[in-house]
A and B are shown apart, each in its own frame.
Chain A
Amino acid sequence: MDALINGLIEILKPIGITEPVFQFMLVNAILGVSIYLTLYCGLFSLANAGFMAIGAYVGVILTQSFDLPLFGALLGGMIAAGLIAIPIGIPTLRLRDIYLAIATIGFGEIVRIMILNFDDFVGSILTLVQGERVRFTLIEGARGIKGIPKLTESWHLILFLLILMFFLTRLHHSRLGRAMTAIRQDEIAAASMGINVVYVKNVVFIMSAILAGAAGVFSGHLTRIVTPQAFGFDKTVDILAFAVLGGTSTWFGPIVGGLVLTALPESLRFLKEYRGVFTGLVLLVVIVYLPGGLINTTSWSKFIRRFTNRPESPPDENSGHSTTRAN
């Protein structure tokens, strides 16, 4: 396995992919899948950065303060993220589109603010109880938890991703997978098929949170420091871009998106100060020419047709709001 990974990295080095970059690529592939699951179910949830933060902090505290091995931390981080997803999902998943998006971004921001203030908060409670000023430190606010050993290895990530891919293939052939697609296309009709829409949405939301939590644990043990700054709005936007640029019509798209978008800035280092401009340009151009994402057959066939001069159909309806009533 190790030899295989090293060989792969040797091949990738000329385009700027060293082992740590490779590892971040894999972590981001997991994140891409995490948001893909909710998107696939028609949920525009952007809570992933928040769950990633929860996973990262729980995981790191487990290895640092409780001396658990990475595997234990992984389980812990995933369970914590999944458990927190339950009370968050039940009220919020009733919201739609942008309202769900902003509510879940709000959740992420609240998580971030809680992490920033956790120590102070506990400290001030202790101060009240004990009657003298107490300084409490566990998660260190903006300072971050430092000195985390680098426990994540490439093969952990590859193995995790392989298992995940197997799970996803099976998901697509299951009742749950079909129910997710149905809910995305028409919630009302889905309910008429006997699908418990609320239940399915919550299950998917929890699965998504668990994956984000796992990515958090892995990432914390790669970056060696976890700070709340790393899990802000920017991160959320990045994660969304992984999935959509990769293409959300199959689970393979978000994986590719995570890999490519992580590698891209590293591969573009030779551009020096023009790097950012090109990153933006690439994102823009790719999505404009392949609106369905990199991994999407219709996207590519339309793209190819453009250059073989076959006319396209002009925009079709449904650019506006959702359908009228349930007549």
Chain B
Amino acid sequence: AQDEVATEDVQIGFWDECPAPENLPETVSIGAIFGLSGPISVYGGSQSQAVELALTEINESGYLGEGVTLVAITEDSAGDGEQAIAAMTKLVEEDQVVAVLGPTLSTEAFSADPVAQENGTSVMGVSNTAIGITDMGDYVFRDSLPESSVIPGTIAQATTILGLERVGVLYGNDDDFTLSGYDVFVQALEDNNIEIIGEETFARGDVDFNPQLTSLIAGEPDALVVSALAAEAVQIITQARALGYEGPIIGGNGLNSPAVLEQSGEASNGVIVGAAWNIANPAPLSVEFAMNFEEAYEAAPDQFAAQAYTGAWLYATAIRCADSVDRTEIRDALAAIQDFPSPLGLFSFAEDRNPIHDPVVQIAQDGKFAVLGAEE
């Protein structure tokens, strides 16, 4: 499926379903709520950078018509639901933005998105993966694939290729992102008749995983299944290898960060991730995005950045197609987007405003990701 997207002539910003707009004011403002302070700023920060990158490209290419500038008013939520509500209220009620990106965490979205819904303003999660986000209302969208769309495929592929029978599971149980990942993993493992020989948990900010890993490894699993965020993932991978574990490590979204590969080095060999986007994605739009991002910010983008970048383009497209700053018209135009070429692949919104595009399953080899099963 990957290859179909990777046709040479597809370029972002050239979705020609809609004519160039004519009725837009000089400045169109969208809002963005990201965690820019506190521990989640690692994600929120690059999301905000990706949005800025997209806006520069959109404005330079005159995507919204001559002389029309799309700006983002970005607010910090610090990963806190109360602050997310306050930021959302400020954006939709005071700043009168036409639509909102974010917030970074699903838990924040459950707090803040209803405010947008009640005000008839679209809100698009660009990193919310929990179940039930878009159920909050017809103005609530997301472009981030829920784990439930990624992980079953990952497990199925890994099972066929590696012939898994028994695995140990390690997950963060105090974070809804890693916990949702765990839920889906367990379901997928059951569906594939794989035995779970042990389950261990950790908490956000933990640094020593030796005890849990020692217990799990003692059961001689065929693979370790890990639902963790990047910082913990690095430790888990290196510590597992240091304890002598050599088998595959299967992870979700969280392991899918350039930092994970970079920092765990050799140890990352055999790490398998299923994700919405991966830096090794060979599709031209994806490569171009990664290149531009690195050029602008001297750091490799992660999946959350790619999704935020895509989110900004999706809003630009909706505004272009609506040719209006009316919030309802923008919402309708957004919902109608189909097969939009993006770094994530050809992107469409489903009926329930969830994203539709192909996930990727990759394995790390010599410090690089390669498509699982296609590696040499």
Chain A residues within 8 Å of B, Cβ to Cβ = 13, 16, 18-21, 24, 112, 116-117, 120, 141-144, 146-147, 150, 222-225, 227-230, 265-266, 269, 272-273, 275-276
Q: Is the CB of A229 within 8 A of B174?
A: yes
Q: Is the CB of B83 within 8 A of A265?
A: yes
Across-interface contacts of B130 in A (CB, < 8 A) = 143
Q: Is the CB of A224 within 8 A of B114?
A: yes
With A141-B179, A142-B173, A143-B180 in contact, do A229 and B107 touch (Cβ < 8 Å)? yes
With A20-B115, A230-B81 in contact, do A275 and B176 touch (Cβ < 8 Å)? no
Q: How far is the CA of A230 from the CA of B94 in the complex (A)?
A: 27
Q: Is the CB of B90 within 8 A of A142?
A: no
Q: Is the CB of B82 within 8 A of A24?
A: yes
Across-interface contacts of B111 in A (CB, < 8 A) = 223-225
With A142-B174, A223-B85, A227-B107 in contact, do A18 and B179 touch (Cβ < 8 Å)? no
> Residue B37 contacts which of A21, A24, A144, A275 (CB distance < 8 angstroms)?
A275
- Flag whether B36 is at the interface (Cβ < 8 A): yes
Across-interface contacts of B180 in A (CB, < 8 A) = 143
Q: How far is the CA of A24 from the CA of B89 in the complex (A)?
A: 13
- Flag whether B175 is at the interface (Cβ < 8 A): yes
Across-interface contacts of A269 in B (CB, < 8 A) = 75-76, 87, 90
Give A275's nearest chain B residue, CB to CB.
B76
Q: Is the CB of A20 within 8 A of B110?
A: no
Q: Is the CB of B89 within 8 A of A146?
A: no
Q: Is the CB of A117 within 8 A of B110?
A: no
With A142-B179, A273-B36, A275-B76 in contact, do A116 and B174 touch (Cβ < 8 Å)? yes
Across-interface contacts of B114 in A (CB, < 8 A) = 150, 224
Nearest Cβ on chain B to A35's Cβ, whole angstroms: 18
Nearest Cβ on chain A to B169's Cβ, whole angstroms: 13
* Tally of B interface residues using CB under 8 Å: 32
Give A235's nearest chain B residue, CB to CB.
B80
Q: Is the CB of A18 within 8 A of B110?
A: no
Chain B residues within 8 Å of A, Cβ to Cβ = 36-37, 75-76, 80-83, 85-87, 89-90, 93-94, 107, 110-111, 114-115, 130, 132, 135-136, 172-176, 178-180
Across-interface contacts of A275 in B (CB, < 8 A) = 37, 76
Q: Is the CB of A224 within 8 A of B110?
A: yes
Q: How far is the CA of A224 from the CA of B133 in the complex (A)?
A: 13
Q: Is the CB of A18 within 8 A of B173?
A: no
> Residue B107 contacts which of A117, A225, A276 (CB distance < 8 angstroms)?
A225
Nearest Cβ on chain B to A259's Cβ, whole angstroms: 14
With A116-B174, A143-B180, A227-B107 in contact, do A16 and B90 touch (Cβ < 8 Å)? yes
Q: How far is the CA of A41 from the CA of B75 in the complex (A)?
A: 41
23 contacts between A and B (CB under 8 A): A16-B90, A18-B90, A20-B85, A24-B82, A24-B86, A142-B174, A142-B178, A142-B179, A143-B130, A143-B176, A143-B179, A143-B180, A144-B176, A147-B135, A150-B114, A223-B81, A223-B82, A223-B85, A223-B111, A227-B81, A227-B107, A266-B90, A272-B76
Nearest Cβ on chain A to B218's Cβ, whole angstroms: 21
Q: A19-B89, A272-B76 are in contact. List 11 more A-B contacts (CB 8 A).
A: A18-B86, A20-B85, A21-B86, A24-B82, A143-B176, A147-B135, A225-B81, A225-B111, A266-B83, A269-B76, A275-B37
Q: How far is the CA of A21 from the CA of B112 in the complex (A)?
A: 12
Q: How far is the CA of A129 from the CA of B85 in the complex (A)?
A: 43
> Residue B132 contacts which of A146, A266, A272, A276 (CB distance < 8 angstroms)?
A146
Across-interface contacts of B37 in A (CB, < 8 A) = 273, 275-276
Nearest Cβ on chain A to B150's Cβ, whole angstroms: 18
Q: How far is the CA of A230 from the CA of B110 in the complex (A)?
A: 13
Nearest Cβ on chain A to B235's Cβ, whole angstroms: 19
Across-interface contacts of A19 in B (CB, < 8 A) = 89
> Residue B94 contacts which of A13, A229, A272 (CB distance < 8 angstroms)?
A13
